Structure 1
Amino acid sequence: MTTFYFVRHGETMVNQAQCFNGGGTNTALTEDGKAAAERLGTLLAEQSFDALLTSPLTRAVETMDAIVAQLNQSPPPTMIVDNLKEMALGDWEGQPGASLTQHPQYENYFHHPELFDAKQIHAESYQAVLKRGMTVIKTVQKTYPDGDVLIVAHGIILLFVINTMLGIPFAKIRAQKMVANASLSVLKSNGTHTEEIIWNKMG
């Protein structure tokens, strides 16, 4: 089975301000975000990895770099994977969540992914995010069937990928708790069976 080490990037100023932080928002980590990522690296210091994959967005790359700097094993080169980018949120990028509560798609975005009409805000659909995310997972499983793989990505894409791997129905995924910034969740999977080993652990 492939062992997936899923990490959500550390905190950014956009997270701190409780604004939408999608694939079109490219901000760096806060000092607290960097420190949390370094602590996660210390937690993983003795772990060896067969592959390191990160979203190309700055907050994910900085998180990966902070983790790698703490590893005692000599890691492989980090691979930048476009399909790990966060869900593109179009008109909502960088906007305060509190300012959009009356939008017709607000309720669907947070509670009904199967009804969310991304076109209304020039965003990416949940279905598209999940499709590209699972493409990464299937490629990793094929390439590293018995490997240990570290993946640094984002809240929404990780929410949908992890819960799909665990067998949660698409319409129910938004009801699941999102993993925290700079947290580690570990799953073992062979494509047909998935085991949760660690969930949402902080460094």
Structure 2
Amino acid sequence: MATLILVRHGRSTANTAGVLAGWTPGVSLDERGTAQAAGLPERLAAVRIAAAVTSPLERCLQTMRPLLDARPELELRTDERIGECHYGDWSGRKLAELADEPLMEVVQRHPSAAAFPGGESMRAMQARAVDAVRDWNERIDAAHGEDAVYVMCSHGDIIKSLVADALGMHLDLFQRIHVDPCSVTVIRYTRTRPFLLRLGDTGDFGSLAPRESGGAGAAEAGAAGTGVVGAAVVGGGAGAS
């Protein structure tokens, strides 16, 4: 079956503002995110790409634009099933403001039980994304053969949930997975099982360096909206500064 390259969109204005964007309109790539997207064609230069699929949200469309400019033969398809989680009433709110919401602890520790007010459950988010990938795998196989590789640009929580599915992990464990903006995750699907080949690969190891107190690390923990060091950033976070 097909090999799937999952690209998280580049860093967005909502990421740097610590806002949970969801489907809020007007969220675009910031300057760093634009630069990240510009580097994507070179990072994937050695890969023969059969097809390109994206979330319909602007930050994903912008991330894919340089790759499409470099490969005019590719037709970009959109699929709402790989769009961001519908965070409902949480959309557009500062992550730090959500720290006292009882639901945040559920999102962190028991996400399979989490449903956003006015939005969707995290179970539904994962189910639609997995359905989309299974559907596209069949389409790519039929059109290009079982050795084909295709690209899908999506969002942090969507990609994490797809990785959890590929690894046979319960959704309650998916907050242990992290993918930075414009990172590349690769899953090879076969008839009997998927294989995770890359996870959150940006080629940048600077984020592994020790972080000073009060610096980027502290800001990222605060952006998680939990006040707990080591908590997962809902929506995926802004990555290394």
TM-score between the two structures when normalised by the length of structure 1: 0.91
Alignment of 1:31-180 (within 5 A): 31-71=31-71, 74-118=72-116, 121-145=117-141, 146=146, 147-174=148-175, 176-180=176-180
2:28 is matched with 28
* Alpha carbons 2:166, 2:196 under 8 Å: kept: no
Letter in 1 for 2:129: G
Higher strand share goes to which structure?
1
Aligned with 2:113: secondary structure?
coil
* Alpha carbons 2:184, 2:200 under 8 Å: kept: yes
* Alpha carbons 1:138, 1:191 under 8 Å: kept: no
Aligned with 1:101: secondary structure?
helix
Displacement, 1:68?
A: 2.5
Q: Partners of 1:16 and 1:150 in 2: how far apart? A: 25
* Alpha carbons 2:20, 2:94 under 8 Å: kept: yes
Q: Does 1:3 align with 2:3?
A: yes
* Alpha carbons 1:40, 1:202 under 8 Å: kept: no
Q: 1:137 to 1:192 in 2, by over 3 A?
A: farther
The percent identity for this pair of structures is 25
Displacement, 1:110?
A: 2.3
Displacement, 1:53?
A: 0.2
Q: 1:15 to 1:193 in 2, by over 3 A?
A: same
Superposed CA deviations along residues 122-149 of structure 1, whole A, max 9, x for unmatched, are 1211111111101111112212231211
Query: Which structure has the larger Rg over C-alpha atoms?
Result: 2
Superposed CA deviations along residues 34-93 of structure 1, whole A, max 9, x for unmatched, are 11111122111232211100000000000011222344xx54200011111100111111
Q: Partners of 1:90 and 1:19 in 2: how far apart? A: 13
Larger RCO: 1 or 2 (CA < 8 Å, sep 6+): 1
Letter in 2 for 1:55: S
Q: 1:170 to 1:29 in 2, by over 3 A?
A: same
Letter in 2 for 1:164: D
Equivalent pairs, count: 198
Aligned with 1:182: secondary structure?
coil
Displacement, 1:24?
A: 3.3
Letter in 2 for 1:149: Y
Superposed CA deviations along residues 141-173 of structure 1, whole A, max 9, x for unmatched, are 212231211000001111101211121112211
* Alpha carbons 1:10, 1:37 under 8 Å: kept: yes
Q: 1:86 to 1:26 in 2, by over 3 A?
A: farther
Q: 1:117 to 1:54 in 2, by over 3 A?
A: closer
Aligned with 1:98: secondary structure?
helix
2:235 is matched with none
Q: Partners of 1:10 and 1:75 in 2: how far apart? A: 23
* Alpha carbons 1:85, 1:154 under 8 Å: kept: yes
* Alpha carbons 1:42, 1:70 under 8 Å: kept: no
**Gap runs ≥5 in structure 2:** 204-241
